[in-house]
């Protein structure tokens, strides 16, 4: 049985192409628990707050109940739920999950494979991360999910591979300068602290070309992928009204960017395409923008 294929076939809720990483987040959380405790049942009472935090930080901008993935993942042959009344989930409603003392665990066949096949846990986790989240978010997401990939013997199992030239092309296009703050650091003749950011995430068919890239410093790259920062249709910088920063550095580095035009690439090279900007605005940026 190819467990990577089984994970890839998870059924997702879909409406207008909106990101729906609810089940992947629950699976990453469950893999972290499996690393630490084996396949012991995970009471919903213990998982609720942690799943809610994962969904708040890495899910879509709309609020989502942790009961949704806890219940619906049972339809994919990877997750089982039992209650004090016996096998089977009582539904996605929080009150039912709480009152029935629901507890979930990985399907025994998957748990057995994880125990017997070295590297499988790492391959599944890497697939879930690559298929659903921007790379700049992976480390922090794993920490929040309690997942230790350093000991998981990660073996790449990716059919679609990134273009290694993407970073060089994007940084050259923006003349090795952050498109948001103009940072342009070098150390011993090498660029330091600058990234090539995908506007439409690679995990969601974002191409590895300049028209889908921005040269951003490391901090603005992270804030862009977290939805604090975005772009308008006119390629001005948008700042989420939900971001709060009281220090002078937060005002200088983030709040002062609102409405400022983003740096353009060199003449003759492609600016970010409007379709990619629209995708980021609807799928990542935490609306509404500051005025």
Provide the strand spans (E) within the chain.
42-43, 79-83, 86-87, 103-106, 186-187, 190-191, 194-198, 213-217, 229-231, 237-239
Per residue of the chain (291 residues), what is the pLDDT tens digit? 699 999 999 987 666 667 889 999 999 999 999 999 999 999 999 999 999 999 999 988 778 899 999 999 999 999 999 999 999 999 999 999 999 999 999 999 999 999 999 899 999 999 999 999 999 999 999 989 999 987 765 544 445 667 889 999 999 999 999 999 999 999 988 899 999 999 999 989 999 999 999 999 999 999 999 999 999 999 999 999 999 999 999 999 999 999 999 999 999 999 999 999 999 999 999 999 998
Q: Which 8-state DSSP code applies to residue 257?
A: G
Burial of residue 85 (CB within 10 Å: 0-12, 13-18, 19+) is exposed
Q: Which three-class secondary structure string do you get for 37-64?
A: HCCCCEEHHHHHHHHHHHHHHHCCCCCC
- Record the pTM: 0.80
- Greatest CA separation found in the chain? 67
């Amino acid at each position: 049985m190819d467990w990577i294929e089984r994970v890839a076939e998870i059924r997702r809720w879909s409406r207008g192409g909106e990101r729906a990483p609810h089940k992947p987040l629950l699976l990453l959380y469950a893999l972290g628990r499996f690393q630490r405790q084996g396949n012991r049942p995970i009471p919903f009472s213990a998982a609720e707050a942690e799943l809610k935090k994962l969904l708040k930080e890495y899910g879509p901008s709309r609020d989502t109940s942790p009961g949704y993935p806890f219940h619906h993942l049972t339809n994919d042959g990877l997750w089982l739920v039992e209650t004090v009344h016996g096998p089977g989930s009582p539904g996605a409603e929080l009150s039912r999950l709480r009152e029935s003392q629901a507890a979930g665990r990985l399907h025994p066949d998957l748990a057995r494979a994880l125990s017997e096949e070295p590297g499988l846990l790492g391959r599944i986790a890497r697939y879930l991360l690559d298929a659903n989240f921007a790379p700049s978010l992976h480390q922090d997401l794993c920490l929040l999910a309690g997942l230790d990939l350093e000991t998981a013997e990660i073996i790449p199992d990716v059919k679609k591979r990134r273009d290694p030239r993407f970073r060089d092309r994007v940084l050259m296009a923006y003349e090795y300068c952050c498109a948001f703050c103009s940072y342009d650091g070098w150390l011993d003749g090498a660029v330091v602290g600058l990234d090539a950011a995908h506007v439409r995430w690679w995990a969601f068919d974002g191409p590895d070309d300049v028209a889908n890239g921005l040269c951003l410093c490391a901090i603005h790259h992270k804030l862009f992928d977290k939805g604090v920062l975005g772009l308008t249709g006119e390629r001005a910088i948008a700042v989420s009204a939900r971001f709060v920063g009281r220090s002078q550095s937060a005002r200088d580095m983030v709040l002062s960017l609102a409405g400022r035009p983003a740096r353009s690439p060199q003449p003759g090279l492609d600016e970010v395409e409007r379709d990619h900007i629209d995708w980021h605005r609807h799928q990542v940026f935490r609306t509404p923008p500051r005025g």
